């Protein structure tokens, strides 16, 4: 405990010193060895919520502190409480050892601190409620904060103790040492982050695959500047696999709708030309191909089945696997058999059924998906076949220069 | 020596209060282990009249009336246990 003799009676200008103490905003109490109040200033009486004359010569208590300062609860006569910070130094009072206790009301300070802690806890609760993986970087790229989703993802992907992706790790260094698929994009990502950090770019975004052994996953990395006084970045990784799958399905549906509309227009054109030139034998095609030539129908179904298998090989990325030529040949064969769109649909259904027999469900689904595209393609080629024949006939009538489409 | 009776006044079970209680219990079990020691905890939030009667100005406050002389300590009661015993005018274990 420090030695303090500023209030000892031997001080020459005692009156002036007492005036200074009286004007102090901090409460000052001198207590003797029994803890009895020998002196107190107005601020001390105010902090204790009592009159100075009621406190003089009363037992306040002998101060015992573990450290330099201690927090105590101050009890006011009206039942209210406040928090005080107490400091103590040894002194002398009228020739006897005494303690000088200084008191400061820190109730507001404590309330403000608590409010700050509550606000911070609230902010973290919000960040931790987000499914987006968030990390905050300082200006040098060091991770200074991460949310729960970031931690969970890191742990689920092998970084159990967050040695590679946790707070304190430099994110720029992680990117520089990335390998595999990421290695191609590292420089772009680093440049994107630095551009945002230096204010050359407002944000940076990158969509990237991050497939696990079990599932296909796509993420979007977004980088935005840290708003506030400290320079830094907020990095987020959002799982967009579902959105990407939905977008792909929507795009496929749009493409199919467009192709169907085109085919319908082509068939209408062919129909019109055929009526004008009588080039397509409509009389025979009124009867389904399956009934009028079951052999040709069966052969077409078998060919379609084979072409479905080739389409599946193409989907698996096997080079040179393309059903296109086979479909063109099949459309010509069917065209000379005067096949109609209804015959094509029957061949498609029989082909998919035949291919699906004995196949596992996932392969059956693949046949269905590939078949949906293939049947449209076949119809397109058939329409082209008829149009070519119609135009050829028309060319004969005109000058013979028109080539079939 | 006759029984030592201590009254510790606290205001709710705060961290400060729990720390003071732990310190006193430790002293009763070690430094005063050879004496019969009674420790009464008084929560002034639950018993405000006790604070009024004893004219408690702040908590934690520790009062020792038995054995005389009566002593009153204020603060977190931390630090050297012998300093606290000296303030209470209690001798350590013989």
User: What domain count does chain A have?
Assistant: 3
One domain for residues A270 and A381: yes
Share of chain B above pLDDT 70, in %: 97
Given a contact cutoff of 8 angstroms between Cβ atoms, the answer to whether B66 and B4 are in contact is yes
Chain A CB contacts of B76 under 8 Å are 64-66, 70-72
Count other Cβ atoms within 10 Å, centred on residue A184.
9
Per-residue pLDDT reduced to its tens digit, A68-88: 899 999 999 888 889 999 999
Window B:59-88, CB contacts with A under 8 Å: 59-61, 69, 71-79, 83-84, 87
Q: Is residue A63 part of a domain?
A: yes
Closest approach of chain B CAs to the CA of A62, in angstroms? 5
Q: Shortest CB distance from A73 goes to which of B11, B78, B84? A: B11
One domain for residues A57 and A162: no
One domain for residues A270 and A379: yes
Q: Is residue A117 part of a domain?
A: no
Confidence of residue A405 (pLDDT cuts 50, 70, 90): very low
Question: What does the CA dihedral A120, A122, A126, A128 come to, rounded to 10 degrees?
Answer: 70
- On the question of pLDDT at B36 being above 70, the answer is yes
Q: Is residue A4 part of a domain?
A: no
Instruction: Report the CATH number at residue A74.
Output: 3.30.450.20
Structural domains in chain B, sorted by start: 4-87 (3.40.30.10)
Confidence of residue A134 (pLDDT cuts 50, 70, 90): very high
With helix as H, strand as E and coil as C, how does A357-391 read? Answer: CCCCHHHHHHHHHHHHHHHHHHHHHHHHHHHHHHH
Chain B CB contacts of A61 under 8 Å are 57-58, 61, 72-75
Query: What is the span of the domain harbouring residue A78?
Result: 14-108
Q: Shortest CB distance from B72 goes to which of A59, A67, A73? A: A59
Q: Is residue A183 part of a domain?
A: yes
For chain A, the average pLDDT equals 83
- A34 and B71 within 8 Å at the Cβ level: the answer is yes
Q: Is residue A249 part of a domain?
A: no
Task: Look at residue A285 in the predicted model and tell me its pLDDT.
Answer: 55
- On the question of pLDDT at A398 being above 60, the answer is no
Q: Which residue from A minimizes the CA distance to B10?
A: A73
- On the question of pLDDT at A13 being above 70, the answer is no
Q: Is residue A1 part of a domain?
A: no
The pairs formed by A162-166 with CB atoms below 8 angstroms and a separation of 24 or more are A165/A135
Q: Which residue from A minimizes the CA distance to B62?
A: A61
Closest approach of chain A CAs to the CA of B35, in angstroms? 22
Average pLDDT over residues A364-373: 82
Per-residue pLDDT reduced to its tens digit, A187-202: 889 999 999 999 999 9
Confidence of residue A307 (pLDDT cuts 50, 70, 90): very high
Given a contact cutoff of 8 angstroms between Cβ atoms, the answer to whether A37 and A31 are in contact is yes
One domain for residues A90 and A138: no
Mutate: best of B47, B53, B58, partner A, most A CBs <10 A? B58
Q: Name every residue in A having a CB less than 8 A away from some CB of B.
A: 34-35, 48, 50, 55, 58-67, 70-75, 79, 81, 84, 86, 88
Domain final position from A77, A108, A139: A108
Per-residue pLDDT reduced to its tens digit, A273-295: 656 655 555 544 568 899 989 99
- On the question of pLDDT at A52 being above 60, the answer is yes
One domain for residues A296 and A388: yes
One domain for residues A153 and A103: no
- B58 and A75 within 8 Å at the Cβ level: the answer is yes
Structure tokens at A212: 């696990």
- On the question of pLDDT at A6 being above 80, the answer is no
Closest residue by Cα to residue A232 from A170, A151, A187, A150: A170
Helix, strand or coil, per DSSP, at residue A22: helix
One domain for residues A32 and A97: yes
Q: Which residue from B minimizes the CA distance to A87?
A: B75
Per-residue pLDDT reduced to its tens digit, A81-130: 899 999 999 998 888 999 999 999 999 998 999 899 999 899 889 989 99
One domain for residues A305 and A392: yes
Radius of gyration of chain B (CA): 13
Per-residue pLDDT reduced to its tens digit, A58-71: 999 999 998 889 99
Asked if this assembly's ipTM is beyond 0.85, the reply is yes
- On the question of pLDDT at A394 being above 60, the answer is no
Q: Is residue A93 part of a domain?
A: yes
Q: Number of helices (H) and strands (E) in chain B: give both, helices first.
A: 3, 5
- B76 and A65 within 8 Å at the Cβ level: the answer is yes
Closest approach of chain A CAs to the CA of B44, in angstroms? 9
Q: Is residue A402 part of a domain?
A: no
């Amino acid at each position: 405990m420090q030695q303090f003799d500023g209030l000892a009676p031997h001080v020459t200008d005692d009156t002036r010193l007492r005036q200074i103490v009286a004007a102090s905003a901090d409460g000052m109490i001198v207590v003797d060895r029994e803890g009895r109040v020998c002196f107190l200033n107005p601020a001390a009486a105010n902090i204790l919520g009592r009159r100075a004359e009621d406190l003089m010569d009363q037992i306040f208590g002998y101060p015992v502190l573990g450290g330099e300062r201690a927090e105590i609860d101050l009890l006011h006569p009206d039942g209210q409480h406040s928090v005080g910070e107490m400091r103590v130094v040894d002194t002398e009072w009228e020739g006897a050892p005494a303690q000088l206790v200084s008191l400061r009301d820190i109730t507001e300070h404590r309330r403000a601190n608590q409010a700050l802690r509550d606000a911070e806890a609230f902010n973290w609760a919000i960040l931790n409620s987000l499914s987006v993986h968030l990390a905050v970087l300082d200006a040098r790229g060091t991770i200074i904060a991460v949310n729960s989703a970031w931690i969970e993802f890191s742990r689920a992907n092998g970084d159990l103790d967050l040695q590679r992706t946790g707070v304190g790790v430099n994110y720029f260094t992680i990117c520089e040492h990335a390998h595999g698929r990421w290695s191609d994009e590292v420089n772009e990502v680093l440049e994107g982050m630095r551009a945002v950090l230096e204010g050359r770019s407002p944000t940076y975004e990158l969509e990237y695959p991050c497939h696990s052994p079990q599932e296909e996953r796509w993420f979007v990395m977004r980088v935005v500047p840290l708003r506030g006084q400290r320079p830094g970045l907020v990095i987020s990784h959002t799982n967009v696999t579902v959105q990407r799958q939905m977008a792909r399905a929507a795009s496929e549906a749009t493409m199919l709708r467009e192709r169907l509309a085109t085919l319908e227009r082509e068939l209408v054109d062919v129909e019109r030309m055929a009526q004008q030139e009588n080039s397509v034998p409509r009389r025979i095609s009124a009867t389904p191909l399956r009934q009028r030539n079951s052999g040709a129908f069966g052969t077409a179904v078998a060919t379609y089945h084979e072409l479905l298998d080739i389409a599946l090989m193409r989907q698996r990325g096997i080079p040179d696997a393309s059903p296109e030529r086979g479909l063109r040949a099949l459309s010509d064969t069917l065209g000379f058999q005067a096949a109609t769109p209804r015959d094509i649909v029957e061949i498609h259904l029989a082909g998919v059924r035949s291919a699906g027999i004995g196949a596992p469900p996932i392969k059956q689904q693949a046949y269905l998906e590939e078949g949906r595209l293939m049947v449209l393609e076949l119809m397109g080629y058939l329409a082209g076949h008829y149009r070519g024949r119609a135009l050829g006939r028309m060319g004969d009538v005109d000058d013979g220069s028109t080539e079939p489409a | 020596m006759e029984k030592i009776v201590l009254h510790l006044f606290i205001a709710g079970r705060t961290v400060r209060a729990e720390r003071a209680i732990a310190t006193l219990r430790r002293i009763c079990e070690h430094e005063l282990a050879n004496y019969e020691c009674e420790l009464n905890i008084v929560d002034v939030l639950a018993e405000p009249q006790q604070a009024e009667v004893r004219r408690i100005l702040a908590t934690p406050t520790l009062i020792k009336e038995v054995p005389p002389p009566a002593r009153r300590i204020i603060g977190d009661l931390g630090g050297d246990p012998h300093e606290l015993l000296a303030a209470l005018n209690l001798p350590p274990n013989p």
